[in-house]
Amino acid sequence: MKESNNLTYFVANRIKQLRKKKGLTQEQLSLESDLDIKYINKLENYRFSPKIDTLEKIMDTLNISYSDFFEFEKLTDFPLVDELLNSLSDLSQDERQQKVLAILQLLK
């Protein structure tokens, strides 16, 4: 996957995650942010990345700040995986590599 696609996927997933957290449908988000529902759908399905002003519109509608939007603390929907990833992030690169290789061996 290209590096630029990583950001597209992150933004799309984050918009979808925050929209659902606020209890909004794609249609409600589109109405409240004055954006076409097809546009919201394409954003959430990785068709393209929003322009900065469009992202700001969505963030305003969701009542979320830049720092909250780009928060990386919750990495997955699985608390144990989040705990594992946080634990690995505290290790040196060599230790992290050794632990990951050990985990991969266990999974085989």
DSSP per-residue letters across 45-90:
TTS-PPPHHHHHHHHHHHT--HHHHT--S--SS-HHHHHHHHHHHT
pTM, to two decimals? 0.62
- Write the pLDDT tens digit of every residue in 2-60: 444 577 888 888 899 899 989 999 999 999 999 999 999 999 998 888 999 999 999 99
Same domain, 63 and 93: no
Number of separate domains in the chain: 2
Same domain, 23 and 40: yes
Same domain, 105 and 81: yes
Same domain, 17 and 65: yes
Domain span at 106: 73-108
Same domain, 77 and 60: no
- Write the pLDDT tens digit of every residue in 51-99: 999 999 999 999 998 888 887 555 566 677 767 777 777 778 888 888 8
